[in-house]
Amino acid sequence: MKLHGYFRSSASYRVRIALNLKGLGAEHLPHHLRKGEQCAPAFLAINPQGLVPALEAEDAVLTQSLAIIEWLDETHPEPPLLPKDPLRRAKVRAFAMALACDTHPVQNLKVLARLRQLGLPEERVTEWAAWANREGLGACETLIAAEKGPFCFGDTPTLADLCLIPQLANARRFGVDVSAYPRLLKAETAAKGVKAFADAAPDKQPDAE
């Protein structure tokens, strides 16, 4: 398998964690997002959206981190990243989507670049990103407030944790006080004790800056 990504990409980070948890190897092919390498014709031929990650596997290209992770979970079911119970599965997916679909995209590089193009000063751009993170993390804190943990949904990592850990890293980068989310931090502490999460961290990647 070949994973096209970028060390700081939250979506790539999610997939790296999934690969590590499954014990799967992949050749990591970096594309520097701040230099626009994701818009190169060679990469657009792989993913017309010009986004990372993209996973080349079984003579096919998979895009969108949640789709990639669910494919990995279906083809390599151990350890499972989604609960067996349908209701629990729906709750894990909802938590993951709150971050991957409604929080991260609003504060990603593409959106922030557009805000700068529209004339917003850098401090306002950062404020926007911080706001998006606070909104999403605040909702997620409530979603799992009654979950004992230590992970988001129980005593093993799920898709929810794969989305949470990169998003907390983003929030800190934009100056968000994450101490306001003690239940999320409990899950993060549990994840930090798992080698698969630690090895997937941005600063551990070959293209880290």
Q: Quote the CA–CA distance of 205 and 69 in Å, as a whole number.
A: 19
Domain end residue (candidates: 79, 94, 110): 79
Torsion of CA 182, 149, 171, 109, to 10 degrees: -160
Give the pLDDT of residue 124. 98
Instruction: Verify that 110 and 191 share a domain, yes or no.
Output: yes
Look up the CATH number of the domain holding residue 96. 1.20.1050.10
Say what angle helices 10-22 and 159-173 make with each other, to 10 degrees: 140
Record the pTM: 0.97
Q: What angle do CA 104, 111, 166 make, to 5 degrees?
A: 25
Show the low-confidence residues of the chain (pLDDT under 70).
none
Domain that holds residue 72: 2-79
Q: Is residue 202 part of a domain?
A: no
Q: How much of the chain, in percent, has pLDDT values that exceed 90?
A: 100
pLDDT in tens, 144-187: 999 999 999 999 999 999 999 999 999 999 999 999 999 999 99
- CA trace torsion 145, 146, 152, 156 (10° rounding): 160
* Residue 204 in domain: no
